Amino acid sequence: MAACLILATAVPFYLFFTVDVDVQVSQIVTAFIAVAAVYGVFWVVEPVTYFPILGPAGMYQAFMIGNIANKLLPSAIVAQSTIGALPGTKKASFAATAAICGAAVIHVVSMLVLVGLLGTWLVSITPDEITLIAQLYILPAILGGVTVQLIATLKQVRATIIALVISAVVILAIVPVTPPIMKSFAVAIAVIATIIATWFLRDRTEERRRAGAAAQGSAAGSSTPPGAAGGRDDDSTT
């Protein structure tokens, strides 16, 4: 990961120190602050929210490949839900890794065929009106389809309602009456608020049932006589 980071950032540093580029350090700092003001919150929010689902290997793959929220994360969630793997377990981590590999392969193959081989031809035969409409609605269509797929797969009605209500409140009520800079933090606010609200408003019935079952199992194990646990203690001494 460190080697990839160095390679990704080596070219600008090489040009800055070896080529006569009229760029001042103050300009670089100003540009960094401008970018950090918009995207800096995601440097914390995304790893914290993605790690329990993707796991260590999936996190490495996801941040190297990109398109996490609209491609890799939904693939991992659907794969885990299909095999009944709970997030945070090794089974879920393996499922996420396999799902990311599959999503990446499909993405690369489709890009090679539809863009590399047929891209110019498809653009030439597509009317301009359709192109304009596609540019306007393609992102909402993709994210809407992914959202509906996740809702149908996870079947967590309470969490879905909480997320929709908080997102609507943040976008429609909070952002319009706050300074313009708050628009850059709208997604982060909605995500953090949804996580907190879902945690406090979660259904605790299943937790109590599991805790009761675990307590009963522990009590049954402690009350079992040593010779009855394996059924072969007496036989082993004869």
pLDDT, tens digit, for every residue of 37-96?
767 777 887 888 888 888 888 898 888 888 888 788 888 988 988 888 887 888 999 999
Query: Is there a single domain that holds both residue 105 and residue 172?
Result: no
Query: Is there a single domain that holds both residue 88 and residue 162?
Result: no
DSSP string, 135-168: HHHHHHHHHHHHHHHHHHHH--HHHHHHHHHHHH
Return the higher-pLDDT residue of 4 and 25: 25
Query: Is there a single domain that holds both residue 190 and residue 107?
Result: no
Residue-number span of the structural domain to which 203 is assigned: 156-211
Residue 15, in any domain of the structure: no
Report whether 38 contacts 184 (CB < 8 A).
yes
Domain count, the chain: 2
Enumerate long-range contacts of 66-74, CB under 8 Å, 24 or more apart.
67/107, 70/142, 70/143, 70/146, 71/103, 71/107, 72/99, 72/100, 72/103, 72/104, 74/146, 74/149, 74/150
Residue 231, in any domain of the structure: no
Name the token pair of 34: 């401008």
Name the token pair of 9: 């950032």
Query: Is there a single domain that holds both residue 114 and residue 51?
Result: yes
Query: Is there a single domain that holds both residue 56 and residue 104?
Result: yes
Residue 208: phi, psi to the nearest 5?
A: -65, -40
- What does the pLDDT read at residue 214? 65
Q: Does residue 81 sit in helix, strand or coil?
A: helix
pLDDT (tens digit per residue) in 143-157: 787 788 778 777 788
Report whether 153 contacts 81 (CB < 8 A).
yes
Query: Is there a single domain that holds both residue 118 and residue 165?
Result: no
Name the token pair of 45: 């929010």
Query: Is there a single domain that holds both residue 160 and residue 118?
Result: no
Query: Is there a single domain that holds both residue 107 and residue 39?
Result: yes
- What does the pLDDT read at residue 206? 64
Return the higher-pLDDT residue of 112 and 222: 112
Residue 132, in any domain of the structure: no
Band of pLDDT at residue 234, cut at 50, 70 and 90: very low
- What does the pLDDT read at residue 43? 81
Q: What percent of the chain has pLDDT over 90?
A: 10
Residue 113, in any domain of the structure: yes
Query: Is there a single domain that holds both residue 115 and residue 186?
Result: no
Kindly report the pTM of this predicted structure: 0.60
Residue 8, in any domain of the structure: no
- What does the pLDDT read at residue 77? 87
Integer angstrom CA distances of residue 209 from 54, 55, 81, 136, 225 = 27, 27, 21, 49, 26
> Helix, strand, coil shares of the chain as percentages rounded to 5?
85, 0, 15
Integer angstrom CA distances of residue 193 from 45, 51, 150, 173, 199 = 12, 18, 19, 14, 10
- What does the pLDDT read at residue 232? 45
Strand extents, DSSP E, the chain: none
Residue 34, in any domain of the structure: yes
